[in-house]
Amino acid sequence: LSMKLHKVSAYITKNVNRDSRLHSNGLIRRKRNLKPSRTAAALFLAAASANAGDECNNDAVGGKELADKIMAFQHNRKRQGMQYRIIAADEHESMAGKMEEIYPDRFTFHKTSWGKFPDGTDNIEIGGFTPHNLISGEHVLFLASFHNNDSTLSQFQVMICLLQSFIESLTVVLPYYPVGTMERVTKEGIVATAATYAHMFSSLPSCGRPTRLMVYDLHTLQNRFYLHGNSVASLHSSIPLLKERLRASNIDCVAFPDDGAAKRFAAMFQDMGMEIIVCGKTRGDGDSRNVAIQDGDAKGKHIVIVDDLVQTGGTLFECGKVLKDAGALTVNAFVAHAVFPNRSWTRFALGGDRACFDKFWVTNSIPTVTDVLPKDDVFEVLKLTQQIIDDLDLYSSS
């Protein structure tokens, strides 16, 4: 029994590793029917139920672990075989095209016309419905970009139309949830837009199963519980993209601008053996607040500051300046979402008054901003495309 389990384990491990390698290299083009035999499954059950003697008990433990392995293997294969029709906001059409290019047997992109009538109201024609209806009965992946209120309303109208078109399921990828910072109010009459957006998502029509809303590095994690009814939040992180860059760099320390960011992200770097620095604001003269290192030593370190988003970047800049004053050799920055209102990124570019970072990594979660960042500067845009595909299949970026 042990020998048979060992052989089946080797088979599963070989195929799981092979699939992971091919999947990451974009070489899996079609669904394969490699399924473990029922005989193997029976062996696992037999091993798991064995209870006589030390050898059988060891087989039972090993058998259960292998059974879990094989079930995960089957589940992942099933997910990776799902096919999607992609509908995308204008800003994410390049991402949609890239998905189709890499995995043509899994993703089909249908371009949508986001027009306007002369009076300014929407004149939208969703792709894939004419001359033949290729959307109904299919799994639909909608790539959303809520970069302004006008575009947001247009995209909600498309989501409603899709859900009323007899589709099998709807998955909405909204990399940046723009109202994540507006989840509470301090006086009556102020609108908590995180709650109102969640209400709109929750009120979407049902196609038989809830709409899956994929969001990356949500600013306030409890916002996921604002959704109810017909929509469910699926939370993911872009940190794996940063870790790929860090492995190819000389960076040996991760810093956080405040305790909240440290509690949220520090655990994600444990497997890399990085030193951790936590900064925070301290009271200065009068009502002033100054950024200071609260935990860790920056001297002689190559550091990357990590946070979920940047607006004007005042705190990020102060944090970088403090780390350099404390003896850091190089200071870099990473944020998942480059909001940068009013082109405030120019202050961090070469020659700007906040040009303190050797490298500034951002993701393309807000393409209206990242598409205009200079390419021969400190900025590097990390593409979310493959990360989204992985999370679409595995429900997790860990």
Cα 347 to Cα 291: distance, rounded to the nearest angstrom:
19
Residue 397 is predicted with a pLDDT of: 43
Same-domain check for residues 131 and 206: yes
Kindly report the number of other CB atoms within 10 A of residue 69's CB atom. Answer: 17
Is 102 among the domain residues? yes
- CATH number at 273 reads 3.40.50.2020
Asked if the structure places residue 228 within a domain, the reply is: yes
| 392 domain-assigned | no
pTM: 0.80
Answer yes or no: do 97 and 228 share one domain. yes
Which pLDDT value is given to residue 240? 96
**Whether residues 217 and 266 fall in one domain:** no
- 242-276 burial, b if ≥16 CB within 10 A, otherwise e? beebbeeeebbbbbbbbeebbebbbebbeeeebee
In a domain, 388, yes or no: no
Residue 284's pLDDT is what?
64
Instruction: Assign 174 to helix, strand or coil.
Output: strand
- Where do runs of H (alpha helix) occur along the chain? 2-24, 38-49, 53-80, 93-102, 149-163, 193-202, 239-247, 259-265, 314-325, 367-370, 385-394
Can you give the pLDDT at residue 72?
67
Residue ranges making up the domain that contains 43: 2-80
> Are 149 and 51 found together in one domain?
no
Q: Is residue 363 part of a domain?
A: yes
Contact between residue 84 and residue 77 where contact means Cβ atoms under 8 Å apart = no
CA gap 336, 381 in Å, rounded: 10
Is there a single domain that holds both residue 364 and residue 247?
Answer: yes
Q: Are residues 146 and 181 in the same domain?
A: yes
Last residue of a domain, one of 236, 257, 283: 236
Last residue in a domain, options 183, 204, 236: 236
- Same domain, yes or no: 108 and 186: yes
Q: What's residue 219's pLDDT? A: 83
pLDDT of residue 37: 43
Among 24, 46, 80, the domain-final residue is 80
pLDDT score for 394: 79
Residue pair 77/58 in contact (Cβ under 8 Å)? The answer is no
Are residues 193 and 106 part of one domain? yes
Q: Are 324 and 331 in contact (CB under 8 A)?
A: yes
Number of domains in the chain: 3
Please check whether residues 62 and 113 belong to one and the same domain: no
pLDDT at 5: 53
**Is 389 part of any domain?**
no
pLDDT score for 54:
53
- Do 10 and 88 lie in one domain? The reply is no
The answer as to whether 200 is a domain residue is yes
Task: Assess if residue 393 is contained within a domain.
Answer: no
* Tens place of pLDDT per residue across the chain (398 aa): 555 555 555 655 555 555 544 444 444 444 444 444 444 445 455 545 544 455 555 666 666 777 777 766 666 666 677 899 999 999 999 999 999 999 999 999 999 999 999 999 999 999 999 999 999 999 999 999 999 999 999 999 999 999 999 999 999 999 999 998 888 888 899 999 889 999 999 999 999 899 999 999 988 877 788 788 899 999 999 999 999 999 999 999 999 999 989 999 999 999 999 999 999 988 666 656 789 999 999 999 999 999 999 999 999 999 999 999 999 999 999 999 999 999 999 999 999 999 999 999 999 999 999 999 999 999 999 999 999 999 998 764 44
Q: Same structural domain for residues 75 and 88? A: no
Confidence at residue 390, expressed as pLDDT on a 0 to 100 scale: 94
